[in-house]
Amino acid sequence: MIETKGLTKYYGSLAAVVDLNLRIAEGDIFGFIGPNGAGKTTTMRILATLLEPSSGTASIDGKDVARLGKQVRRVVGYMPDFMGVYDDLKVFEYLEFFAAAFGVARGRRKATIDGVLELTDLEGKKAAQVDSLSRGMQQRLQLARVLIHDPKVLILDEPASGLDPRARIEIRELLRELRRMGKTIMISSHILSELEEMCDHVGIIEHGRLVFSGTLEEIRQRVGLHTKVRVRISGDLDKAVEMLSVLPEVQVVRKLEDRLSVTLREGGSDGGLIAKTLVQADIGLLELVPEQLKLDDAFLQLTKGIVH
């Protein structure tokens, strides 16, 4: 659905995006992450037809964004990383304005607007002035706006930034709902734990270059070669460390305050041998939990903190 080939964008002599190759399948939620100034927003703006690439190509739904901008805009809902509200319009009028701008038929507008208002929990604000809404409400209104023409693709730049935890959870629920509706979503966020729960694929960009693109599992494969297991026992911790360290599938055992952190070798089991060893040694096993590699950890390992 979204594809870039050798996409490059320069601002004067500054390379914002360099040779970016992306491929996002239809119906996917693609998390686009990277440090500030990495090139995420520039990429999204190119895909939204608001910037022209210096070289390379980008296409959405098979249409080149640089040459067929108008057709691309019809299938894309773009939400920038800032609020854009007209002072003098009410919520319903604002949405109707964009509905008309996207060519939604007059007869369908009211139902469509009511639908997106309901989806974003803004029904009660229909007659409120747009600029009187709180930040969270305005963020929801932006989401309602991008949905107004039922686009196939949503490009959401930091949709949850600056929102309180409740609003963030609501936005996350909303995005899940949109995925169920079959939308292809490209989303950037600094809150990686949220992306982790939503995204099928993740792209990590730094210094304008894509350093990784793939599924979360592929990230773990790439950076999390070792799986960690958290072990809590009722017996002697030192004895347990001694016993586990000699097991062939265990690489390192670290004694923490009240538990052990066991790092398994590549291709190691899920910790069954650890449990068996401890039980056979008559050590009370209270807890054995595999520790999954977090997206935050992967991000830190894959990026160097380089910014423009």
Partner 1 sequence: MKAAVLEHIAGAAGWLTGPIFSKELRVSSRRRRNYVLRFIYLGLLTVFVVLVWLSQVKSSAESSAFRISRMSEAGRVVIMAVTWFQFCALQLVAVVMLSASISGEVYDRTLGILLTTPIRMFQVVMGKLLSKLLQLMILLAISMPLLAVVRVFGGVPWDFVLASLCITLFACLVAGAVSMFFSILFRRAFVTIIVTLGAGFVLYAVLPWMLMLVFMALAFSGGGPPGSAYRDAVMGMMHGNPFAMLFLATGELMQPGSLGRMGFFSWPLHCGIMLAFTVLMLFLCVLLVRRVALRQAAGDTGVVRVVPQLPPAPVARAPGQAAPGVAGAPPLPVPVLVPTPVAEAQAGRIRRLTGSPLLWKELRTPLTRSTVKKVVGIVIPLSILSVMYLLVGALGQLDEESTHIGFVVVYLIGGALITAVVAASPITAEKESRCWPLLLSTPLSEGHIVWAKAAGVLRKCWFGWAPLMAHLLVFAVVGYIHPIALLHLLILVVWVVAFLTGAGLYFGARFRRTTTAVVMNLGLGIALWVVLPVLLLIVVATFEGGHEDIAGVYAGVTNPVVQGIVLLAETAGADNAGRPLAELSYNWPWDGPGLTAGDTTALMLLFASVHSFIGFLFALRAMARLRRNIF
Query: Closest approach of Cβ 60 to partner 1, in Å?
Result: 12
Q: Give me the residue label for tokens 């729960």.
A: 197
Task: Work out whether 89 is an interface residue with partner 1 (CB under 8 A).
Answer: yes
Task: Work out whether 74 is an interface residue with partner 1 (CB under 8 A).
Answer: yes
Task: Work out whether 17 is an interface residue with partner 1 (CB under 8 A).
Answer: no
Nearest-angstrom CA–CA distance, 263 and 65? 47
Sign, CA dihedral 263-269-272-277, equals negative
Stretch that binds partner 1, among 76-84, 203-211, 259-267, 299-307 (CB under 8 A): 76-84
Task: Work out whether 111 is an interface residue with partner 1 (CB under 8 A).
Answer: yes
Query: Closest approach of Cβ 40 to partner 1, in Å?
Result: 14
Among 10, 15, 23, 50, interactor with partner 1 by CB under 8 A: 50
Task: Work out whether 45 is an interface residue with partner 1 (CB under 8 A).
Answer: yes
Look up residue 273 and give its DSSP letter: H
Task: Work out whether 179 is an interface residue with partner 1 (CB under 8 A).
Answer: no
Among 128, 211, 225, 241, interactor with partner 1 by CB under 8 A: 128
Nearest-angstrom CA–CA distance, 251 and 247? 8
Q: Site residues (CB under 8 A) for partner 1? A: 45, 48-51, 70, 73-74, 76, 78, 80, 82-90, 92-93, 96-98, 100-103, 109, 111-119, 121-129, 131-132, 134, 145, 147, 150, 173, 176-177, 180-182
